Amino acid sequence: MKTFTPEFIRAIPKTDLHLHLDGSLRLKTLIELARKAKVKLPSYTEAGLRKLVFKDTYKDLPEYLHGFMYTCSVLQDLDNLSRVSEELVEDNAAEGVRYIEVRFAPQLHVTPATSVRDVVRAVAQGLSAGAKAHNATRSVRIGKDIPFRFGLILCAMRRFKRGMSPYFADLLRLMEYAPKDDVYAAASLELVRAGVELAREGLPVVGFDLAGEEAGYPPADHWRAYKYAHDHFIRKTVHAGEAYGPESIWQAITQCHANRIGHGTFLFAHGMIKDPEIKDRQKYVEDLANYLASQRIGIEVCVTSNLQTIPSIRSISQHPVRKMIEYGLSVSICTDNRLVSNTTVSRELQLVAESARVTREELRRLVFAGFKGCFFPGTFNERRSFVEAAAARYDALERRMLPSAD
């Protein structure tokens, strides 16, 4: 087992494939935007917000989610969306991340004066500005560094309430007498249709996601939206196995055509299987894990977030990431929410490398699972060239900073 220095982890090119925009603002920016928008915060200092809202540990998921009330409140403005998106690129680029897929629920940020398309364009504009600044640096121009690239993942909600946004309030009013599941499904289908149109316009909309309360709100309820994405060459990821069992993961694959799984934390939790027809539960999860591995269906692992939101996982030693690695799964290490989880890609990789005692080759596979499994906004050959450039830089840094063999 090799000890990897923080300097090496920070220097190597990395990705973040599971990155929520509204959970990844700078605290300083949140405070500034809240003051301008007259959004009441529990504190107007970074230390105060770290103590009261954005903590290192949370007692439960509702406490973890509480902070989104404040971040979403300041993201009802297109300029603010562009600004925090640009800063997100800056923060990632500063720690060696060279590719991100930013996921967000545009319908949460719609106002009476703006549309889903306006929201997506504003986020894309900010990300483009941040990437352009990095790509104009001398180190990129002379080939000593690689460019920064990004994609957008539009995130539908498993369930929502009127107070979450004017869009959701209007939809619930229009479909007042429809079953709630039909309303939620209608919102996801409308979102993916907008995403396909924007992708045709040239925006880097590369993926579609489903987030929110998992138990009781299965991904299959949104199969029409996922089929539409599938039929129009939009890649798919699903929050699954985060708060529910292995069956949720299988449903995401078979009924939603998932190319990747968000979290997948309870992949091996055979005791959570509810289908009475599954007699050998242990074999079911083993078959599922081997299927994921053989089909290279990626798992977006967010260790710190899981420790903060899943009470049954009390320490990193209880997290299944080591088992995922041993099964040969395509595991990419992600942040989930940089602000809410107070983390970075470098921190997450360091945590996994030390706690899961990964070898040099295992670390390389973790890093390049992100590059190889990304929903790259370009051709296959362009993605291959990008991955090759990242590999060349990684190998050069490894030779220079980790000269001795395992």
Asked whether 187 and 221 are in contact (CB, 8 A), the reply is no
Q: How many C-beta atoms lie closer than 10 Å to residue 328's C-beta?
A: 14
Residue 273: both structure tokens together: 């299987």
Listing DSSP states for 264-297 in one string gives -TTTT-GGG---TT---HHHHHHHHHHHHHHTT-
Burial class (CB in 10 A: 0-12, 13-18, 19+), 274: exposed
Alpha-carbon distance of 344 to 342, in angstroms, equals 7
Q: Catalytic residue, from 242, 247, 300, 348: name it.
A: 242
Alpha-carbon distance of 331 to 146, in angstroms, equals 23
Question: Is 63 annotated as catalytic?
Answer: no
Calculate helix-pair angle for 246-256, 281-294, nearest 10 degrees: 40
For 184, residues 6+ apart whose C-beta sits below 8 A from its C-beta are 157, 158, 159, 160, 217, 221, 222
Q: Which residues are catalytic?
A: 242
